């Protein structure tokens, strides 16, 4: 899996190993390492399924239930995405992870000038409830949960998911959706933000409050350390920053008079498996333990299930290379192995061609089959936490716990996550690390098979990858559908619902019930996001380079 720093002598023997989180690895570990660290079984491990959940969330872990497979899916039009949904479900996938195009993510309709050339390119284009009706036609929404990879307009998509379920005959109490809905990590990482920090956090809070009251099976936010890691954070920072972001959302909701115990059990996480195998395993084991301890000690949460760190461990996009892309098949298998040995509840792998393109059906199914092999052939469901008790793994888990806490304390010293992002502190640090890491890759300080000189020449021939070409017909079709929608919907109902939304946005009412009504009236994504733009303005990112 790579990215550790290996210092070798002239004969190639390893003299020193340093993980990205700053942990130095000894040549060998023994009982004295655990004794020195004050390790005890009761305090640091516990039985499987028992606090602090280092080993697993459930007593029998994968023996009782395999992890959920949820490959990232969506491109072009809702019709094409619906076909891919059904293909993956027919081949054994048991959850959806929905991709949206950039115009949708940024709250623009397909006919907006800024959407030119981007409609359907990196995900499916969604303009209104009509598109959701097409995309989810024939999908059993009472049995298949859907992750919605959307952030700035997550409240809109969450409302639209409820509206489409109701249109298709399901009650809002039957459906399970998990919008990513983590705007603070967008400001650190991906950059698909729209509104100023305080308004972005307010919308996240509105969605959490609404889910607590109206959507009992849905998870209103998926805290996404994944993209923070992809942007240059170390594994320890990935967890630390995600937890500090979670605290910002918890604070917003508790200020509304809702107790943490009533909603933190609905939080989920999206974490990365890219990196050194052992560092990733220690990261996830330490994260489960620290999350449970934080909720119990800082927020007074006592109910066992609400202390669980739940979520998806997967992806690994930064680990993929354009050079020798078939190597990514093996990389994906190792990432999946790391996720499984870490006790992942849900896993999705980046497919081998994703350094080039949206996954083809062939590559998406290869990723799904990789996960199934680990479940059914390799033996990852045989026993709970098979690495438990390893002198190395337990020592590494304890060190990782310390590193995560150090990073959290630094954010707190800066005044918390909202202030750190508003001032650009976090962005500056992560961007600098990304630059230094890239320099290390180019110099050979960090080894990457297929990139470093010694592994380039043996397979110098170019490997062809089937590209998922952009299709202008996607935009033409989306624009035509929008034109027809605007000509046939009830304009009076649209106007009324948008005005009510505007009043809520400018005031203090929760926007979610108004968004549901807007969606049922067939208001467009651009119209609803436009109301928020007028009410909140847009964020000017601080200069931090």
Which residues are CB-neighbours of 20 under 8 A, at least 6 positions away? 3, 4, 5, 234, 235, 275, 276, 279, 437
Q: What is the DSSP letter of 100?
A: B
| Contact present, 489 and 189 (Cβ < 8 Å) | no
Q: How far apart are CA 258 and CA 454, in angstroms?
A: 58
Q: At what angle do helices 154-167 and 525-536 cross, to 10 degrees?
A: 150
Q: How far apart are CA 419 and CA 415, in angstroms?
A: 6
For residue 446, list its beta bridge partners: 5
Domains of the chain (ranges; CATH) run 5-459 (3.20.20.240)
Q: Give the helix/strand (H/E) hosting 377.
A: none
Residue 451: predicted pLDDT: 79
277, with CB counted inside 10 A (0-12, 13-18, 19+), is: middle
Q: How far apart are CA 45 and CA 39, in angstroms?
A: 9
Q: Which of 286, 243, 225 is nearest to 430 (CA)?
A: 225
Q: How far apart are CA 539 and CA 518, in angstroms?
A: 25
Residue 359: predicted pLDDT: 83
What sign has the CA pseudo-torsion 141, 178, 115, 75? negative
Q: Which of 324, 208, 340 is nearest to 265 (CA)?
A: 208
Which residues are CB-neighbours of 311 under 8 A, at least 6 positions away? 222, 223, 268, 269, 270, 271, 345, 346
**Cβ burial 304-313 (10 Å sphere, 16+ → b, else e):** eebbbbbbbb
Low-confidence ranges of the chain (pLDDT < 50): 458
Q: Most distant CA pair in the chain: distance in Å?
A: 78
- Strands (DSSP E) found in 326-365: 346-347
What sign has the CA pseudo-torsion 453, 457, 463, 469? positive
How many other C-beta atoms are found inside a 10 Å radius of the C-beta of residue 334? 17
Q: What is the DSSP letter of 543?
A: P
Which two structure tokens, joined as six digits, stand for 524? Answer: 């467009």
Q: How far apart are CA 100 and CA 122, in angstroms?
A: 7
**Cβ burial 371-394 (10 Å sphere, 16+ → b, else e):** bbebbeeeebbeebbebbeebbbb
| Contact present, 214 and 260 (Cβ < 8 Å) | no
C-alpha of 34 from chain center: 33
Q: Which of 313, 204, 194 is nearest to 266 (CA)?
A: 204
Judging by DSSP bridges, how do beta strands 145-148 and 5-8 pair with one another? unpaired
Q: Which of 156, 157, 146, 153 is nearest to 97 (CA)?
A: 146
| Contact present, 257 and 286 (Cβ < 8 Å) | no
**Cα angle value 216/217/221 (rounded, 5°):** 95
| Contact present, 130 and 481 (Cβ < 8 Å) | yes
Q: Could you tell me the pTM of the whole model?
A: 0.94
Residue 170: predicted pLDDT: 96
| Contact present, 407 and 241 (Cβ < 8 Å) | yes
C-alpha of 437 from chain center: 22
């Amino acid at each position: 899996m790579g990215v550790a720093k290996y210092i070798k002598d002239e004969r190639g023997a390893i003299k020193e190993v340093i993980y990205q989180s700053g942990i130095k690895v000894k040549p060998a570990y023994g009982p004295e390492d655990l004794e020195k660290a004050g390790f005890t079984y009761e305090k640091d491990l516990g039985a499987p399924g028992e606090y602090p959940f280092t080993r697993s969330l459930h007593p029998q872990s994968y023996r009782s239930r395999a992890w959920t497979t949820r490959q990232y899916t969506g491109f072009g039009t809702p019709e094409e995405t619906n076909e891919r949904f059904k293909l993956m479900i027919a081949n054994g996938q048991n959850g959806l992870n929905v991709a949206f195009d950039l115009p949708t993510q940024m709250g623009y309709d397909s006919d907006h000038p800024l959407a030119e050339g981007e409609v359907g390119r990196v995900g499916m284009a969604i303009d209104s409830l009509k598109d959701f009706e097409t995309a989810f036609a024939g999908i059993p929404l009472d049995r298949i949960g859907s992750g919605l990879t959307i952030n700035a307009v997550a409240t809109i998509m969450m409302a639209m998911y409820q509206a489409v379920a109701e249109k298709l005959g399901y009650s809002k109490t039957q459906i399970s959706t998990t919008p990513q809905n983590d705007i603070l990590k967008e400001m650190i990482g991906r950059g698909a933000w729209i509104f100023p920090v305080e308004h972005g956090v307010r919308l996240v809070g509105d969605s959490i409050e609404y889910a607590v009251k109206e959507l009992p099976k849905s998870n209103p936010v998926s805290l996404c350390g994944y993209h923070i890691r992809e942007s240059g954070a170390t594994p320890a920072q990935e967890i630390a920053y995600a937890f500090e972001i979670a605290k910002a959302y918890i604070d917003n909701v508790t200020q509304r008079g809702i107790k943490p115990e009533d909603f933190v059990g609905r939080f989920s996480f999206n974490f990365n498996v890219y990196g050194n195998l052992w560092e990733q395993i220690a990261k996830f084991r330490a994260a489960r333990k620290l999350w449970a301890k934080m909720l119990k000690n800082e927020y007074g949460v006592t109910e066992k299930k609400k202390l669980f760190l739940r979520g998806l461990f997967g992806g690994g996009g930064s680990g993929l290379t354009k050079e020798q892309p078939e190597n990514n098949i093996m990389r994906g298998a190792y990432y999946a192995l790391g996720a499984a040995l870490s006790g992942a509840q849900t896993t999705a792998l980046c497919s081998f061609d994703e350094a080039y393109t949206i996954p083809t059906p062939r590559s998406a199914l290869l990723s799904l089959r990789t996960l199934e092999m680990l479940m059914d052939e390799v033996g990852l469901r045989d026993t709970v936490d098979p690495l438990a008790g390893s002198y190395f793994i337990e020592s590494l888990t304890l060190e990782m716990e310390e590193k995560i806490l150090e990073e959290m304390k630094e954010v707190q010293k800066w005044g918390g996550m909202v202030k750190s992002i508003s001032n650009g502190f976090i962005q500056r640090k992560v961007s600098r690390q990304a630059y230094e890491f890239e320099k290390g890759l180019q110099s050979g300080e960090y080894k990457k098979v297929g990139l470093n000189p010694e592994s380039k020449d043996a397979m110098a021939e170019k490997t062809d990858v089937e590209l998922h070409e952009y299709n202008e017909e996607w935009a033409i079709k989306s624009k035509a559908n929008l034109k027809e929608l605007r000509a046939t919907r009830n304009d009076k109902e649209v106007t009324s619902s948008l005005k009510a939304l505007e009043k809520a946005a400018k005031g203090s009412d929760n926007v979610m019930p108004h968004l549901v009504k807007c969606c049922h009236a067939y208001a467009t994504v651009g119209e609803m996001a436009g109301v928020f733009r007028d009410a909140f303005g847009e964020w000017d990112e601080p200069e931090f380079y």
